[in-house]
Amino acid sequence: MSKKDQLVTFKTDETTLEQAKANLEHGEMSQRLRQTLEAVAYGADVAEETRLTDRLQSLRENRRSLRQERDNIESDLDETNRKIERVEQRLDSLREQDGQYDGVLAMLEEDLHTGVRILGGSDKIKRAAELGDCSVQDVVDDLKERNPDVPEKAFRPAQAGEPADWKSDETESLL
């Protein structure tokens, strides 16, 4: 209590006091009693001014709290938007990479169908493996899976007596 404040005590009927407490929120009893004393001492206008001043202060505090909450939500939204953007960029990158991988596979399939042997050490196979983020053997396996009609010899170097072009191999025509 400050020097100007004075503690006021008085007696009242217990039932009346309990009923008043039941009808008011916590701490509101003291506030109402102070307002009544001010109204008696200074008139209703000063009491109303005090009540309105207290209400104004309460509303301003509430507004400040709501603004802080809004700012926090805006900050969370901005962070979520940044995360979404990073995930979308990564997804686009993966899709582009998959498209490039499929493109290189298509070029390799074209080579296969013209008779070119697909060898694990070739630059095209290595490039496809890099784009697909996989091994050279995975690329060869993908080609075999996508082209079941191509014989196994198309995926190995020419052996003695075999032509470089697997399709022109005379033994192929006998099969």
Location of structure tokens 């499929």: 102
CA distance 147 to 141: 10
User: Angle at CA 32, nearest 5°, toward 28 and 35?
Assistant: 140
| pLDDT digits 0-9 by tens, 115-127 | 888 887 788 888 8
Question: Domain coordinates of the chain in residue numbers?
Answer: 43-159
- For 80-126, how does the pLDDT look when each residue is reduced to its tens digit (9 = 90+)? 999 999 988 888 777 777 788 888 888 888 888 888 888 877 888 88
The pTM assigned to this predicted structure is 0.46
Cβ atoms of 109 and 150 within 8 Å: the answer is no
Nearest C-alpha neighbor of 17 from the set 4, 36, 7, 30? 30
Q: How confident is the model at residue 24 (pLDDT cuts 50, 70, 90)?
A: confident
Q: Which two tokens stand for residue 19?
A: 């009923």
Question: Which tokens go with 20?
Answer: 């008043």
Question: Is a pLDDT exceeding 90 seen at residue 75?
Answer: yes
Residue 37, amino acid:
L
pLDDT digits (tens, 9 = 90+) for 36-55: 777 777 766 666 788 888 89
